[in-house]
């Protein structure tokens, strides 16, 4: 039973977006409720492993507002970690081997071309990179992104739910609800019959946004992604995570395993892992690491959907026709990198009416 039937904000979705907004708004003294029809992080937020990697795309371009994004992410992770007994993230950086001469040319120019902060990124030519990281296959040098973070998705989501519960945030999980607009107020009816009301409704549901009538004017597109966690007999030689043909997430307290992702399936008819997906992920592993694909003991597969838009930037803002209805989503594969800072910007819009930067604002679709 929810303690108060009148809430400052109701947040739909208990993934990275929803938890980030709840953390931000509750930190500003707002009485918040999270609703989710499924378990927390049911979508892409609870992937086995996540990266907060500021180097994006084939040219290792710096992410939009990377310093602010990474600072907000680290602060959130550290606060949640301090309340949890189980470590779920580490700043171990990301290696990006250049698998072709063309990629090497782009990577070698990246540190200066994209105005990276000092000590965040460095380029090593072929001989130096191969000497320092001999476990990679054929390469033409590589980048070291020292600032990147690796996170266990499920452990983070569960710890974050527990953490925000102590910050004036209630939650109703794995339960249906209905919404109705009455003048300027949103009415919510829970499955147990309780009726709630709020002026502020935030949609952070991810996949469900793609079929919502409210957001049909947005170019939201679902993409299925699969990962495979490979377990090996012996500890791996690496200490960093890797970005190569996807991502390969590693944490030092699990030295015998590597999570490889992800497939990009724009057309799909189910959300289950497939044999073809595993084949593609093994191919990524084989092309990146010398001989490693022959030493796999067992494998765990995972699949779900992330949401994106054509310009590959997130979407945040207020609905143009329904005041006090907000959206936060379209993170693609960058939810852990972007989510917490976008939650801050959305809170600034809700509370202080401060406009969100156009590259990530809903305004660019209007």
Local confidence pLDDT in tens for the 366 residues of the chain: 687 789 999 999 999 999 999 999 999 999 999 999 999 988 899 999 999 999 988 899 999 999 999 999 999 999 999 999 999 999 999 999 999 999 999 999 999 999 899 899 999 999 999 999 999 988 999 999 999 999 999 999 999 999 999 988 999 999 999 999 998 899 999 999 999 999 999 999 999 999 999 999 999 999 999 999 999 999 999 999 999 989 999 999 999 999 999 999 999 999 999 999 999 999 999 999 988 888 899 999 999 999 999 999 999 999 999 999 999 999 999 999 999 999 999 999 999 999 999 999 999 999
* Cα separations in angstroms, 190 against 17, 21, 36, 200, 286: 22, 21, 11, 17, 49
Output the pLDDT for position 296: 95
Output the pLDDT for position 290: 86
Classify 106 as helix, strand or coil: helix
Output the pLDDT for position 23: 98
Place of tokens 């600034």: 348
Name the E strands within 13-79.
32-36, 50-52, 55-56, 61-62
* Cα separations in angstroms, 299 against 125, 230, 231, 257, 275: 34, 5, 6, 9, 12
Please state, in angstroms and rounded to a whole number, the distance separating the CA atoms of residues 53 and 70: 9
Output the pLDDT for position 57: 85
Which tokens hold the place of 151? 């996170």
User: Regarding the domain delimited by 6-46+155-219+311-365, which CATH topology (the fold level of the hierarchy) does it fall under?
Assistant: FAD/NAD(P)-binding domain (3.50.50)
- Helix axes 66-82 and 335-352, enclosed angle (nearest 10): 100
Please state, in angstroms and rounded to a whole number, the distance separating the CA atoms of residues 364 and 103: 31
Class (C level, CATH) for 91-147+221-308: alpha beta
Output the pLDDT for position 95: 97
Peptide bond into 262 cis (omega under 30): yes
Smallest CA-to-CA distance from 244 within 344, 104, 124 is with 104
Please state, in angstroms and rounded to a whole number, the distance separating the CA atoms of residues 105 and 99: 11
Output the pLDDT for position 337: 97
Q: Where are the domains positioned within the chain?
A: 6-46+155-219+311-365, 91-147+221-308
Smallest CA-to-CA distance from 254 within 16, 54, 92 is with 92
| 136: phi then psi, degrees, rounded to nearest 5 | -75, 155
pTM of the model: 0.96
Output the pLDDT for position 4: 75
């Amino acid at each position: 039973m929810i303690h108060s039937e009148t809430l400052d904000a109701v947040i739909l979705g208990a993934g990275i977006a929803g938890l980030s907004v709840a953390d931000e708004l509750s930190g500003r003294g707002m009485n918040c409720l999270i609703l989710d029809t499924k378990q927390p992080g049911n979508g892409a937020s609870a992937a086995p492993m996540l990266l907060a990697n500021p180097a994006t795309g084939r040219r290792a371009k710096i992410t939009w507002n990377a310093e602010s994004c990474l600072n907000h992410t680290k602060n959130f992770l550290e606060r949640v970690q301090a309340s949890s007994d189980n470590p779920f993230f580490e700043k171990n950086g990301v290696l990006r081997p250049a698998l072709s001469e063309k990629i090497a040319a782009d990577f070698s120019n990246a540190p200066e071309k994209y105005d990276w902060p000092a000590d965040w990124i460095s380029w090593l030519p072929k001989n130096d990179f191969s000497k320092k990281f001999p476990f990679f296959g054929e390469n033409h040098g590589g980048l070291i992104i020292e600032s990147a973070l690796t996170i266990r998705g499920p452990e983070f989501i569960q710890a974050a739910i527990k953490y925000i519960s102590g910050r004036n945030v209630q939650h109703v999980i794995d339960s249906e609800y209905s919404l109705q607009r009455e003048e300027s107020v949103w009415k919510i009816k829970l499955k147990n019959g309780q009726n709630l009301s709020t002026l502020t409704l935030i949609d952070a549901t991810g996949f469900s946004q793609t079929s919502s009538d409210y957001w049909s004017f947005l170019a939201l597109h679902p993409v299925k992604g699969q990962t495979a966690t490979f377990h090996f007999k012996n500890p791996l030689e690496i200490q960093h995570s890797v970005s190569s043909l996807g991502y390969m997430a590693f944490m030092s307290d699990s030295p015998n395993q590597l999570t490889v992702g992800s497939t990009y399936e724009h057309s799909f008819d189910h959300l289950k892992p497939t044999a073809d997906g595993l084949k593609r992920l093994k191919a990524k592993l084989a092309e990146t690491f010398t001989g490693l694909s022959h030493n796999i003991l067992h494998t765990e597969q995972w699949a779900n959907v992330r949401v994106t838009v054509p310009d590959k930037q997130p979407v945040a803002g207020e609905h143009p026709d329904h005041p006090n209805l907000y959206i936060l989503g379209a993170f693609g594969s960058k939810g852990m990198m972007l989510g917490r800072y976008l939650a801050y910007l959305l809170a600034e819009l809700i509370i202080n009416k401060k406009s969100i930067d156009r590259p990530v604002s809903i305004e660019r679709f209007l």
